[in-house]
Structure 1
Amino acid sequence: MKRFNNFIIGLQQDLKAFAFLIILLMVFRILFLLVFKSQLAGVATVDIVATLWYGFRLSLKTAGLMVFIGAVFSTIVQLLLPCWPAAKIRRYWHSLVVCVFTILFFARIPYYKIFNSGFNMMLINGIHDDWQAILATGVEEYQLLLRLPLAFAVAAVLIYFLLRLLRTKNWSAVKQTGTAVSLPEKTFAVTTKKMYCACAALVVFLPLFFVFIRFGASFNYAGSISWENAARLNSNLLNEAVLDDGQALYRVYISNRCLRETAGTNLTQAEIVKQISILGGDPQAATIEQAFSKKVVQAKMQQKPQQIVMIMGESYGVWPLLPEFVQLGLAAESEKLLQSPHSASVNTFLAHGTGTMPAINGYLTGLADAYLYENYQPESYKTGYATGLGKMMKDLGYKTVFWYGGFKDWQNLGDFVLAQNFDEFRCADEIKYAEGDAWGCPDEALFEHIEQYIGEHREEKIFHFIMTTSNHPPYTIDVAAKGFDKERVKNMLPDSIAGDDETLNELGHFWYSDHVMGLFVQKVEQKIPSALFIITGDHSERFSFKRAEDLRTLSVVPMIFYGQGVEKDWFQANKVGCPIQLIPTLMEMLGQPGQEYASILPSLFDEHFNKAFNHRLWACDGTLGELDQIDKQELPADQSKVLQKAQDIKKMALAAKKVTAWRVLKGNAIKIRQ
């Protein structure tokens, strides 16, 4: 009975602390908005309410983690050791948490003024900065000598109220006897049977409550909210207000972890020259981009397209186009393009990464995926990468427009795109649509908006980069209303795909994305017959098969070229490629003979270079494998040469990551100034 009573009291104390932290974080969020209320001019009340709701859901996770840590070292330990000083530990821990979050809130105000953001990667960059200058700036410009004591004073007051709350009386249990007795206030009598029933109920309830808090007022990822998808509003202030300081610091942690995992952050000048040589670059060059300077040999397309449309579909893997799945018709529009005499495709094309932003980074920089998140790096906002898609298309004489079905502030995408040689960035913020989800507008609405834009600018030479969003959890499109034949697909499913409603809805979203993309291509082609289309995906590896599948099914994305002047025999059946090869490929298709460009890999037209890699895979002559498994991989004797090539590809992949790290973190110049 004593252990049961200790646990019941400890649970009540933890719930009190949880409620206090939630209220505190919400108060800080509201105060933050009030401090910068001048930025809310013209912002709709509904957006402010949405900010508070999203923020509340996100802060459930923050407060839940803090309370969970406190409960582990107090309530849980006391369950095993009844004499454990749980109350004292709980008070100390939550007092510390309140103090830290209060100081962070006071620091966030000047931080936002400086960076127009909550805590971000600049926090890490500041670690290597001049601390004396930072301290002097804090004192002179941001009243550090006043703010810090005030923060501690406010924290002391808040801790006082927290401790008063924790000292309020809790319900406790006593063993029920056969005689009726008068019980003290907030005391209840229980039998042994009732105690066991209560324990059983808690065993069921607490895990469910934990999951609910873990996913921010949801029970699964599809309905969850995280710092990565919290930028759902048109105001930067509101998007930053959604994040409490705990989540903002978590954003910094994840970004910095990616940075620390990057190969080559401690490269020397001699080492980078060696890596350039491995990639076939000029080791005597003064800059990275000069080291990989190339020239167009002969343009593949004699008639230049008036407009070029590149569509990168969300989670648009190649698997629905493979023989064992093509009968489902999930990618019927892409299949039509493949069958056209005016199309060419690369059968084994590796995605740049496992997420949307890494894929975008790859095309916009033309660099390897070194886990750097270039969209957060200062160098990405100083100069445009000459190896990137925007620079090359502008050199070819095209206006560059980036279209995103999501929101501008997601992953700094809007600012990043404009910094990387794109003339315009357009997204869901400016599109009117009736349905959608946390990630943005439906693909149909996006394509309709782009089609209208193209019609209004049909006389201009424009390169359009389109990133869709609908084929992504939580899968909210009514695909049946759009024409998806659920029953037909269900009856044709192979054994490797489940036939439950959830899976069918996911398949329906793949069909929907492909369907509206196909209609869009047809309409644009009618407006501009000379248009060139490039169809690909940002990544695969999201769809869950019932059984283990090969790497091609799981990881490969389409790479389809379609339009007048495209020739069917451009690429052989065993051709492999990766995103950083697309950029030189377009130069070889459209450039003038002798025109210079920069690329760390050859184009897809290079018959002597039939190999590719991404962050974890290698491909060669149609064969796929994992980079970290090359030395363990067993291939048939007749493929021993492929294994040797794979080992060479692994060296190239590491070299590309190191070159990327140098270019992104240290700049374009190879020689380090002494």
Structure 2
Amino acid sequence: MSRFSVFFENIQRDIKTYVFLLLLFCLYRGAFIWIMQSYIEPNTGMTDIALAMWAGFRLSLKSAGVLALLSFLVCTMSNVFVPKLKTTSIRLWLGGLYIAVLSILFQARFPYYNAFHVTFNQNVFNTMNDDVYALFITMIQEYNLPVRLLGALVILYFLYFLFKTLLKSPNYPLPQFTTKTQHLFFRVVVIVMIPIFMLFMRFGGSFNYNHSINWENGAITKSSFLNEAILDDMQALYRAYAVHDRMAQGDQISGIHKEKIREYSKLVAGNNVESDDLTPYLARQAAGAKIAKPRHIFIVIGETYSQWPLMEKFDKLNLANGLKDIIKQDDTAYTQAFLPNASFTAMAVTALVTGLSDVSIPVNYQQRSYEQTYITALAPQMQKLGYKVDFWYGGFPSWERIKDFTLAQGFDHFYSCADFGAEPDNIWGTKDEYIFQALSKHLDEEAPTVHLILTVSNHPPYNLDLDKAGFDAAKIMDGLPEDQKNNKELIRKLGHYWYMDKVVHDFVKETKEKYPDSLFIITGDHSDRVNVTDTPTPYERYTIPLVISGPGITKALLPSDIAGSQVNIMPTLIELLAPKGFTYYSIANSLTKGNQIGFNNDYSITPYAIGKITNPTDYEVFNHGDLSKIEAAQDSSQDKISMMRTLSWWLLVKGNQL
């Protein structure tokens, strides 16, 4: 046989392997849903189950592809170079190994879900730090390990027989052609189709990122159980690995001084508290309400709501006219010296939900976050003031475990695009306007409430119909540098910022008219995604706005010499509306009290300058004034950063006890 004949025969076996594995993933998914159907929520219908099976099928295209690729490399390619090599037994051995592993994982999935109400997640790595013998005995006594292994062996034997029969089924012979051109054309087509097929599998039944599916955006149903069932065991284990890897990156954290925990605790308390519990050290007494109690409070976290479009030098871009209009109102305060908690959306959310600074540990994946609320958490403290606290997100509830996390941290309700019936606009979620439309309808029923809102539209793949939204590209082009005026890709990205800003502005305006006794806090999750220059300054690149608007708010509310980050929002809110003497807990100061430091994982900001934490003497001055004040603020920032980081780390890793 020619080498191509060997190749053609082998790839047919690879296709059989792929199809078998894909069907196996789907079979196990369907069996899991059927056996565990008691976990399906009452309002779930057959449409949701079908949707879950379809999304799972697309995800399993990837999983089956990875396993079939190994077979292709080990068997097909080696056989091409050594045509006499007999690879049948190797392929059968690999197939048997795949079936064995998947069958064991299938059996393990049931007790795991019973225990954690999720499929495999980062907790699988905790085994290495646990009592392995105790776990083994528990598996025998509590989860019928011998019976489950026996069941896996029976299934393995049956499936291996089917796989072996499939591989031995006849292959199509290599077509014979009358001319060399036809021979060549056929071979080229076969070879070219292989990478195309791989690309199709890589994106889960698509050819690009825009329409792809992965474990982070695969939860597309209203059912938490079905969203977990969408993940096959390979995808679930990959999720566990990805999350564990993120957490492992936080092992070495600068600015954490565990040995100073008592010193820092007393420093933040500002008194002579003596306790082995952090709680009394973090207790603060509200000075007294500065505004009348709002009926509704809206905290808007705009996706990549950067500060730079608000700067005077970028006025001609007309990007942030909505927020500018809000800022110029008499009932609005605004600070420009403000940083996100970190470089990613999840860290912004966790800062507002828990009140903890970023220390390179994914708070939303810490087991402690699901066992109890942090004493600095937003929801429980606002509930003490009589508010119901809800979270609104335009994406899917499985993203960064956002639904589980917010509910575990005390939020009363969680709403995603799946809950308010908005059709997803791209792989991350629905249009921002649909979030606010759903929220506005919801307001008629409830009071008083706090709504933490996370938008999604100003995010890749940037595929909104901007013309339909009323975007005029010409108004932006006038403000672009000459070398960027014809950059359609940049204009399209800036158009998504314009859209988000417009939607936020319209919501604030309409809600103020309908509910004039409402308070609005507007900020961004992070910056640093789109700039109009290749060399933005650190201030242009990293800062985000903080806008507070509503009855009783004045321009003088926030002192001119303040700076902060997202952990300052919660204490600021409480100091605005809590009665005198109200006790709350925070590692950060209220901005109404003259806070002069904000920071994230890399940068710190004072009222005058911004610079890298690791090099405090090298900074960009954006608010020129008394040089001695600038230097004094920089000098004092390091200790404050270490104090807040150490306290945050301790609460995350150790808990309240010292």
Common fold, TM-score beyond 0.5?
yes
Per the alignment, do residues 141 and 311 of structure 1 end up closer, same or farther by CA in structure 2, a change over 3 Å counting? same
Name the residue aligned to 1:478. 465
Measured against aligned partners, the alpha-carbon deviations of 1:114-156 in whole angstroms (never above 9, x if no partner) come to 3222112332334434444433333334322111022123223
Q: Tell me the CA shift for residue 61 of structure 1.
A: 1.7
8 Å CA contact 1:400, 1:463 repeated in 2 = yes
SS at match of 1:320: helix
1:361 is displaced (CA, Å) by 1.1
What residue is the counterpart of 2:280 in the other structure?
290
> Per the alignment, do residues 201 and 269 of structure 1 end up closer, same or farther by CA in structure 2, a change over 3 Å counting?
same
Q: Secondary structure at the match of 2:58?
A: helix
Once the 2 structures are TM-superposed, how far is the Cα of residue 167 of structure 1 from its aligned partner? 4.2
| 1:444 paired to 2:433 | yes
Q: How many angstroms does 1:229 deviate by?
A: 1.1
- In the TM superposition, what whole-angstrom CA distance separates every residue of 1:582-628 from its partner, at most 9, and x where no partner exists? 12222333334444332222232444x52221123222344333445
Aligned to 2:124: 123
| Correspondence for 2:605 | 619
CA shift in 2, pair 1:297/1:81, >3 Å: farther
CA shift, 1:9, in A, is: 4.3
* 1:215–1:225 contact (8 Å) kept in structure 2: yes
Q: 1:472 Cα shift?
A: 3.2
Of residues 373, 378, 394 in structure 1, which corresponds to 2:367? 378
Offset, 1:384? 2.0
- Say whether the 8 Å CA contact 1:617–1:627 is kept in structure 2: yes
Any residues of structure 2 matched to 1:589-628 within 5 Å, and which? 589-607=576-594, 609-627=595-613
Equivalent-residue separation in structure 2 for 1:346 and 1:321 (angstroms): 11
Q: Secondary structure at the match of 2:405?
A: helix
Aligned to 2:249: 261
The whole-number CA distance in structure 2 between the counterparts of 1:634 and 1:369 is 21
* TM-score between the two structures when normalised by the length of structure 2: 0.87
Matches of residues 7-18 of structure 1 in structure 2 within 5 Å?
Answer: 7-18=7-18
Kindly provide the CA deviation profile for residues 252-300 of structure 1, in whole angstroms up to 9, marking residues without a partner as x: 112212222224799997454366578787794422333333333465x
- Residue 395 of structure 2 is aligned to residue 406 of structure 1: yes
Q: Which residue of 2 aligns with 1:230?
A: 218
Give 1:196-211 correspondences, 5 Å limit.
Answer: 205-211=193-199
The code of the aligned residue for 2:355 comes to G
Task: Write the mapping of 1:18-417 to structure 2, written as runs, cut at 5 A.
Answer: 18-40=18-40, 42-76=43-77, 89-168=90-169, 170=171, 185-186=173-174, 188=176, 205-263=193-251, 270=259, 272-273=261-262, 276=265, 284-297=274-287, 299=289, 301-417=290-406
Cα deviation for residue 248 of structure 1 reads 0.6
The worse-fitting range, judged by mean Cα deviation, of 472-481 and 216-225 is 472-481
Deviates more, 1:199-208 or 1:33-42: 199-208
Contact kept in structure 1, 2:318 and 2:475, CA below 8 Å: no
- Offset, 1:189: 6.4
Q: Unpaired runs of 5+ in structure 1?
A: 172-184
Residue aligned with 2:153, SS? helix
Residues 435 and 79 (structure 1 numbering): CA distance in 2 closer, same or farther, change over 3 Å?
A: closer
Residue 580 (structure 2) pairs with residue 555 (structure 1): no
The answer (yes or no) to whether the contact 1:99–1:156 under 8 Å persists in 2 is no
The equivalent residue for 1:536 is: 523
Separation in structure 2 between the aligned mates of residue 97 and residue 452 of structure 1, nearest angstrom: 50
Q: Distance in 2 between matches of 1:645 and 1:148?
A: 64
Closer, same or farther: CA 353–66 of 1 in aligned 2, 3 Å: farther
Q: Is the 8 A contact 1:263 1:658 kept in 2?
A: no
Shift of 1:319: 3.1
CA 88–328 in structure 1, closer or farther in 2 if over 3 Å, else same: farther
- Output the CA distance in 1 between the equivalents of 2:550 and 2:342: 27
| TM-superposed deviation, 1:373 | 2.9
- Secondary structure at the aligned position of 1:250 is classed as helix
Q: 1:218 to 1:303 in 2, by over 3 A?
A: same
Distance 1:202 1:275 in 2: 67
| Secondary structure in 2 matching 1:211 | helix
Structure 1 residues 169-190: Cα deviation after superposition (integer angstroms, max 9, x where no partner): 556xxxxxxxxxxxxx546469
Shift of 1:578: 0.8
Deviation at 1:234, TM superposition (A): 0.7
8 Å contact from structure 1 (residues 496, 547) kept in 2: no
Shift of 1:348: 3.0
What SS does the corresponding residue of 1:345 show, helix, strand or coil? strand
Q: Which deviates further from its counterpart, 145-154 or 257-266? A: 257-266
Aligned residues: 651
The 8 Å contact of residues 442 and 470 in structure 1, kept in 2 or not, is answered as: yes
Please tell me the root mean square deviation across aligned C-alpha atoms, in Å. Answer: 3.7
| Alpha-carbon offset, residue 635 of structure 1 | 7.5
Change (3 A) 1:420 1:42: closer
**Alignment check: 8 A CA contact 2:253 2:360 kept:** no
**Structure-2 change in CA distance of 1:564 and 1:210 (3 Å):** same
Q: In the alignment, is the contact (CA less than 8 A) between 2:397 and 2:416 conserved in 1?
A: yes
Instruction: Normalising by structure 1, report the TM-score.
Output: 0.85
Residues 419 and 39 of structure 1, relative CA distance in 2, 3 Å threshold: closer
Q: Provide closer, same or farther for how the CA distance between residues 456 and 28 of structure 1 changes in structure 2, counting only shifts above 3 A.
A: closer
Cα deviation, residue 364, structure 1: 0.9
Return the alpha-carbon distance in structure 2 between the equivalents of residues 634 and 417 of structure 1.
36
1:221 partner letter: Y
CA deviations 1:462-508 (Å, max 9, x no partner) are 32222223333444543322322234434554357575655544433
Preserved CA contact (<8 Å) 1:264 1:658:
no
Structure 2 vs 1, CA of residues 547 and 635 (structure 1 numbering), >3 Å: closer, same or farther?
A: closer
Q: How does 1:580-595 map to 2 (within 5 A)?
A: 580-595=567-582
Given residue 289 of structure 1, which amino acid in structure 2 is its aligned partner? Answer: T
Distance 1:131 1:34 in 2: 31
Bigger drift between 570-579 and 95-104 goes to 570-579
Q: After alignment, is 286-295 or 327-336 more displaced?
A: 286-295
- For 1:65, give the aligned amino acid: V
Match of 1:315, as an amino acid?
T
